[in-house]
Structure 1
């Protein structure tokens, strides 16, 4: 017997404008009004910016003004570079590049919604018919579940930073969600068009972040379809796989014939892919078990309950398909490096699976999640406000002291628009909590509306009240401008060992002419090192590559006491 028994009153869907507004409130803060940050964000922007202001070779071989970066794939950078070409003159290159990030997020959100909708309206997912009628219609039930899945997706803590970053991960997670939509269409319609759609999506995943994950997905779908419907094996072999290979091979084939910079990124790209595979290790498993509970909150409790509640049914597709995706990604996480990027693919299948746990979740468990969200996220929002007040007024003194200690030299300014937005968001949170507590609605998505609303509130407060402070600590704009001022106007090129994010920031903010492919005999040398003791002393003369170099400038970001940059000029004999 199915575990779900619901009246139609529990399946009132959220208005479309509300869903769209929530998505905009989620994605827009953090995209507007900031510099590229010290992370994959700045490195990804650097590749997009280099492509947008370069030629064909720069588009075929991803690099940051001469630093090769072919490891993950070019697709996300191509889209960002196109956005810079189209909108950079109007919005500036940094904001124009983030248009692609917003598009990636909306694609992922829509994919999660429509995948859940397709699975939720299937016959085996429907609740039991009530004795006197009044059960929901399949379309209404599917829409309500899809609303719940989207709210859970928006409330996932691990998604926040990566969904706002100009990186390959932002596109990868969206394409994973879209591949789930393609797989649901394939199992639903069993058509060639659906098989081709799935294949194109897997090929785009190869161009986004390597072939390991899409190949594992294809094998998992092959095994999964052999257990459910052997007719789909033919579709996966004859249509999905060739389509994926054709899409992925275009970049490699063009590189083979054009040979940008008299070489090819193929070898480095394959090496990076091989590094994503290894033997299962306890360290990787421990990292997965330690970080998934917070990274995938609040999805995993509902997802676990969904698997338990539907355990007596014979592999219903709405449980089996996202569970198959989830198992595949868990296995890959135990084989690959221990990074947050290995956990990101878990979020779309967990959100979809969690949505099917909402109809059977006990009221006591729902109330516990609600009160945990209210207490935790309200406290978090309160601390954000208190910290901002301390930063602006100097009271409480200790909090203000700690804030300025982490960002020495920072001068706070009052932004009326940011204050009004933050105040309205906080008032909206109070109204939402009051509605949830006083009205006690019966709709399915009531269990996660506070979790997603609270996460959106905290992120919005950080990206309005605290954005100048965060930007000051994570941006390289200031030190890049110092470097440019100390670089003589007559120069040929600058050789350097700085890391990708720093190289991108120096090239964009300081217009530093870094050495490019095959370029040598530079007159200047920029070095990056760590100086944990905070001392600024350094050698005035060094010898490197049989050349003597004289120190011209030394600097660092005010918020980073360890990182040091040193500019040297060649001593001519």
Structure 2
């Protein structure tokens, strides 16, 4: 047992440690190539945001919320959509601010479009704009993340020991550390898909990064930082969820109360934050008093947020093992070295540890959230992993490299294998599976997509060869293949399989079902929030939610979802017009039926 512990200690401690060796310190001086970083950002963020319809899940719900807000703006009643709802049906798990801002910008763009072209902006581009806005939020968030990490790295107590004087100066070290945090964010497996949906994930990341930046510069500029922090906190409260804003507030109180050098400005920072948040609360109360109709909606939304609860810690941790990859292995190795050398007194690591624990506690315990397995405390996790690269042994770095090389090469092979099967018809079984998953997919080769796919694959091969030849120790070297592989694999998937994904995850048949009644009024059961969101996102049909007792005079048409729907519809009142399944629903699990009033 003793011998085994010695082997583990040797494995995780060489060449890392609380006192980093000179070679590793010197490696922090070499910057990440700008071209490589640009290609990764483009590969992850620029592909899959336009030229497609809303997909199942948050993409559809987000598009529906924006469209509902646009209709509220046209009726001169913007407050009607400030608290998330679809035609009066409350969506307590959603936060309003992102959708409200997106609708406001689209409304302004629509006015400009009308002035320039003399025509209204097509509504089918609403979801594209929502995804573009999400990606812009992510880009700005990466800037704030880089700035905050740089400030943290500039602190004397954050820099590694350099007895030989061969390491980087403070500015270079901070810049490189910030770039590593950006690279690690882009390599995180749990974010790439969610950043390409119409939702508040990018918006949440932006203001988490803003709060992090404000806290990092708090010791130097306490009052200015308190204002920035408070703005970010309010935006998180109305733009994400209660648990995210509350966890960051609790972390800030603890950090400024007990951790040096933040304790030096505790009174100034916390007092300014208290004044700003108190003023915001008073303004919200006054607005609700003035808008008495919205006070009840605000109460329902807050009550719904506070009632969210789902305690499944083991299920959450199981999902975090892949959504947090490759960040958590780096953090664990750093934690091992800190425990081994008893180096718990480093302020920057205390700062990040408190922020990580505070943000992870609520989803892990299921408090104020029912979707904890999807939550990712990306800011403290990536910055901690960036510092953890200084502790990373060569053997662990090589393991991360080989895992990324194997995973993304395999995924690239699968993408090409299925693409060849689609256009050649062989193997027959694979071709049958493809056409069943995406019925109606074109079998004609798109030359532009083919050329772009080949270029992306060549980039991946070049990156592998460059990594094999690159032997100089750099702290960012272990995440080159992880970030590059994820970005290029995503770009390849969208390039070759974008149309198939649009069919598989879209609602084209439901759009066709509703096309004859696009200018009519359709009744939908108010308990079926998913169906209301689908119709609102994919058509211009006016929706009237109804309770169990349906008044047939409310609308001319009735739409129901699910095979048991026939039993709930009175045959004497309603006549079945047509029905449809989603194209990819080969097992016919979810039936959509349209009825007309008799």
Same fold by TM-score, threshold 0.5 exceeded?
yes
Residues 360-369 or 509-518, more deviating: 509-518
How far the C-alpha of 1:308 sits from its partner, in A, is 2.9
Partner residue in 2 for 1:357: 388
Alpha carbons of structure 1 residues 367 and 479: separation in structure 2 relative to 1, 3 Å: same
Partner residue in 2 for 1:49: 67
Alpha carbons of structure 1 residues 107 and 315: separation in structure 2 relative to 1, 3 Å: farther
User: Aligned partners of 1:19 and 1:259: how far apart in 2?
Assistant: 50
Q: TM (normalized to structure 2)?
A: 0.85
User: Aligned partners of 2:430 and 2:225: how far apart in 1?
Assistant: 56
Unmatched 5+ residue regions in structure 2? 1-16, 114-120
For the aligned residues, what is the CA RMSD? 2.8
Match of 1:158 among 173, 190, 197: 190
Partner residue in 2 for 1:526: 559
Partner residue in 2 for 1:179: 211
Instruction: Check the 8 A contact 1:358/1:444 in 2, yes or no.
Output: yes
User: Aligned partners of 2:451 and 2:281: how far apart in 1?
Assistant: 47
1:257 aligns with 2:290: yes
1:23 aligns with 2:41: yes
Instruction: Check the 8 A contact 1:108/1:177 in 2, yes or no.
Output: yes
How far the C-alpha of 1:456 sits from its partner, in A, is 0.9
Match of 1:105 among 138, 155, 165: 138
Partner residue in 2 for 1:273: 305
User: Aligned partners of 1:161 and 1:249: how far apart in 2?
Assistant: 38
Alpha carbons of structure 1 residues 365 and 212: separation in structure 2 relative to 1, 3 Å: closer
Counterparts of 1:80-91 in structure 2 under 5 Å? 80-87=102-109, 89=113
How far the C-alpha of 1:564 sits from its partner, in A, is 0.9
Match of 1:129 among 145, 155, 162: 162
Match of 1:327 among 349, 357, 360: 357
User: Aligned partners of 2:308 and 2:140: how far apart in 1?
Assistant: 26
Q: Secondary structure at the match of 1:156?
A: coil
Partner residue in 2 for 1:3: 19
Partner residue in 2 for 1:39: 57
Match of 2:544 among 494, 515, 518: 515
How far the C-alpha of 1:201 sits from its partner, in A, is 0.7
Instruction: Check the 8 A contact 1:158/1:295 in 2, yes or no.
Output: yes
How far the C-alpha of 1:334 sits from its partner, in A, is 2.3
Alpha carbons of structure 1 residues 307 and 541: separation in structure 2 relative to 1, 3 Å: closer
User: Aligned partners of 1:250 and 1:517: how far apart in 2?
Assistant: 35
Match of 1:304 among 332, 345, 366: 332
User: Aligned partners of 1:488 and 1:451: how far apart in 2?
Assistant: 46
How far the C-alpha of 1:477 sits from its partner, in A, is 3.2
Alpha carbons of structure 1 residues 100 and 242: separation in structure 2 relative to 1, 3 Å: farther
Partner residue in 2 for 1:534: none
Partner residue in 2 for 1:195: 226
Counterparts of 1:411-430 in structure 2 under 5 Å? 411-430=442-461
Q: TM (normalized to structure 1)?
A: 0.89
Equivalenced residue count is 554
Residues 443-452 or 391-400, more deviating: 391-400
Unmatched 5+ residue regions in structure 1? 532-537
Instruction: Check the 8 A contact 1:37/1:475 in 2, yes or no.
Output: yes
Match of 1:394 among 397, 422, 425: 425
User: Aligned partners of 1:418 and 1:142: how far apart in 2?
Assistant: 40
User: Aligned partners of 1:476 and 1:171: how far apart in 2?
Assistant: 26
